[in-house]
Amino acid sequence: MENEIKTFCNNVKKLREIHKISKQQMAKILGISVRTLTSIENGIIPPRASVDIIFNLCSYFPITPNELFAALI
């Protein structure tokens, strides 16, 4: 499970960088603060983070939840 979380965190950052989205814009897409996004991109998922982040990512980007936790991005 730890590897999947690390992959998820890396994929969040990769998506933001590939699509040239600022941290402020990505935080708004995900419905979280920039501080929480920075934590996620650094491999730390705060306890207050919710499953909504996954759904918001999949709604905004053409990916599935499975892809977020796999090294496909």
Rounded to the nearest 10°, the torsion over CA 8, 9, 10, 16 is 100
Cα 47 from Cα 24, distance rounded (Å):
21
- In the chain the domains, ranked by start, together with CATH numbers, are 2-68 (1.10.260.40)
5-48 pLDDT, tens per residue? 999 999 999 999 999 999 999 999 999 999 999 999 999 998 87
Number of other residues whose CB lies within 10 A of the CB of residue 32: 21
C-beta separation of 71 from 7 below 8 A: yes
Q: What is the pTM of this model?
A: 0.89
C-beta separation of 57 from 21 below 8 A: no
